[in-house]
Amino acid sequence: MGTVSDHSEYSEPEVLFKNPQIHVKNPHLDTMEEDILYHFNLGTKTHNLPEMFGDVKFVCVGGSANRMKSFAQFIHQELALPGNMDNVTDICEGTDRYSMYKVGPVLSISHGMGVPSISIMLHELIKLLHHARCIDFILFRIGTSGGVGLEAGTVVVTDKAVDCFFRAQFEQVVLGKVVTRSTELDVGVSKELLQCSSELDDVPTVIGNTMCTSDFYEGQGRLDGALCSFSTEDKREYLRKAYNTGVRNIEMESTVFAAMCRACAIKAAVVCVTLLNRFDGDQISTPHDVLVEYQQRPQVLVAHFIKKRLGLVV
C-alpha cells in the first residue's frame, strides 16, 4: 500500500472468470442472521430467494425502468414462454428505486443513471444471486451511449471500460483509501456477442473500449450544458485522444459494472447502442421512432445470444 499526497491507494488482487459460483467478497455476510436487500424490497428471511431466483442464467440490467419492462416482455415473446407477456410483474413493486422482472431464466432489472445508482443496485443484485445460489450465469448491461467516430445506431460491445483518463480501472474510495479495481470484461462473451451480431440484420456491431464519465455534460465534453469552460476545439481534441486509445462510445455506468463483476468472478458484458456521433454534435435530435429502433438493437442482440445459449436457434 502506497501513499499519494493525502490518501492511500492500493489495488485488490484479481479474481478471474474460472469458478461457476459467485464470489461475494464480504466475510461479514456469513455472520448475519438476515440480509435485507433494502432497495429491492427483498430479504433472506422474508423471501425464499433460491426458489424465486435459483434458475436464473441471464441477468440484463439497464437504466430505464420502462425499457427493462419492455425487454422482459420482449424476451418473454422471444423465448415463447407460456402466458401473456403483458402480465409480467415488477418484483420490486414495493419500492420505487428499481424495477425487476423475471421471465423464465432471464432477470431484467433497471439500475437508474450513473455510477452511484448502478453501484447500489449491483451490490444488492450480486448478494441476491449469491443467496439464491445461482451458478453459471451471465450479466449484461444493455443501454444507450454517445458514439466516438461511429454512426448513430451502431452497437458497441465493450472490450474494456475506461475512465475519463482512458485507464481500464475503477477507483472506489473506501474508508478514506482509494481502492483500484480492473475493468476488463470477459473476452469470450464479447466475441460470442460479435458473432451473434453477424447473424442478425440491421444490428451493426463493433467491439471497442467504452469511456465512463461522472456526468452527461461537462464530463463528456458537451458544449450545451449550463456550465462550459472549454472550446469546440478543446472538445474535439479530447474526443480524438479518446478515439486513438480505442474508445468508441461514452456512457456513465460501465466502469463500476465491469469492476464489480470482475471482482466477484461474474462473466459480464456491456452492450450499448450509439445515439449520435459525438464528433458531429452534442444534442440528440434524431426522430423518436428512429431512437426507439436504435434502443431495441442491444435487446435484439442479447436476446439472440440467450436463445443460442438455450439451444432455441442454431
For residues 99-138, b (16+ Cβ closer than 10 Å) or e, as one string?
Answer: bbbbbbbbbbbbbbbbbebbbbbbebbbbbbbbbebeebb
Q: Average per-residue pLDDT in the chain?
A: 93
**In this model, does residue 46 exceed pLDDT 50?**
yes
pTM: 0.92
**In this model, does residue 187 exceed pLDDT 90?**
yes
Name the packing angle between helices 187-198 and 288-309 (round to 10°).
Answer: 110
Name the packing angle between helices 288-309 and 65-78 (round to 10°).
Answer: 50
Sign of CA dihedral 95, 97, 103, 105: negative
Per the model's pLDDT, the better-predicted residue between 156 and 27 turns out to be 156
Q: Are 194 and 154 in contact (CB under 8 A)?
A: no
Residue set of the binding site? 97, 141-144, 220, 222
**In this model, does residue 23 exceed pLDDT 90?**
no
Q: Are 145 and 250 in contact (CB under 8 A)?
A: yes
Give CA–CA dist 10/87, Å, rounded. Answer: 48
pLDDT digits (tens, 9 = 90+) for 127-171: 999 999 999 999 999 999 999 999 999 999 999 999 999 999 999
pLDDT digits (tens, 9 = 90+) for 238-284: 999 999 999 999 999 999 999 999 999 999 999 999 999 999 999 99
Nearest Cα to Cα of residue 295 among 37, 127, 133, 71: 71
End-to-end CA distance of the chain: give it in Å, rounded: 50
Per the model's pLDDT, the better-predicted residue between 255 and 285 turns out to be 255
Cell numbers describing residue 151: 454512426
Cell numbers describing residue 295: 434502443
Block residue for cell numbers 472468470: 17
What DSSP line would sit under 250-307, residue for residue?
EESSHHHHHHHHHHTT-EEEEEEEEEEETTT-SS--S-HHHHHHHHHHHHHHHHHHHH
Give CA–CA dist 145/154, Å, rounded. Answer: 10
pLDDT number for residue 25: 87
pLDDT number for residue 3: 36
pLDDT band at residue 17 under the 50/70/90 scheme: very low
pLDDT band at residue 7 under the 50/70/90 scheme: very low
Q: Express as a percent the part of the chain with pLDDT over 90.
A: 90
Helix, strand, coil percent content, the chain, rounded in steps of 5: 35, 25, 40
Residue set of the binding site for phosphate? 97, 141-144
Residue set of the binding site for substrate? 220, 222
